[in-house]
Amino acid sequence: MKVLVINGPNMNLLGQREPEIYGTKTLEDLEKLLTKEAEDLHIEVEFFQSNHEGEIIDTIHRAMIEKIDGIILNPAALTHYSYAIHDAIKGAGVKTIEVHMSNISAREEFRSKSVIAPACMGQISGFGFDSYVTALYLLKRG
């Protein structure tokens, strides 16, 4: 099984950006944790981060072409308005779980709605890095 983890805009700033919300661990720390969890589950995991919507869409398309088994997607701020990512997920047909480190429903009103979630298997938010770990386990279970 192969899973692609896609992180959107500003996720490269983890550990520096708003530590009171996102904590002090970095994107590299997240990738190390998920690599270890994936090894334990006998899953191959690949990581991608971009601050550009089109690159994220191209990566979702690539997941379809390469027959990736699942996607864990944190679209970050694109969550709230990227119908293009929504359409890419639906078009690719790859099982996708949307994740967020913070509880987007408990933050500013504009953050509470995801236009991407309806295209996904589900959404996990509010558990920091564990949002990703939970998604990994759920993809493994099918």
**pTM for this structure?**
0.94
Q: In this structure, what CATH number is given to the domain that contains residue 8?
A: 3.40.50.9100
Separation of alpha carbons 91 and 64, rounded Å: 9
> What are the pLDDT tens digits along the chain (142 aa)?
999 999 999 999 999 987 887 778 999 999 999 999 999 999 999 999 999 999 999 999 999 999 999 999 999 999 999 999 999 999 999 999 999 998 887 777 777 789 999 999 999 999 999 999 999 999 999 8
Instruction: Look at the chain and report how many structural domains it folds into.
Output: 1
**Residue 113, domain extent:** 2-141
Separation of alpha carbons 101 and 141, rounded Å: 22
Sequence-distant (≥ 6) Cβ neighbours of residue 66 within 8 angstroms: 2
φ/ψ region of 117 (left if φ > 0, alpha if ψ in -120 to 50, else beta) reads: alpha
Instruction: Give catalytic residues, as residue numbers.
Output: 22, 100
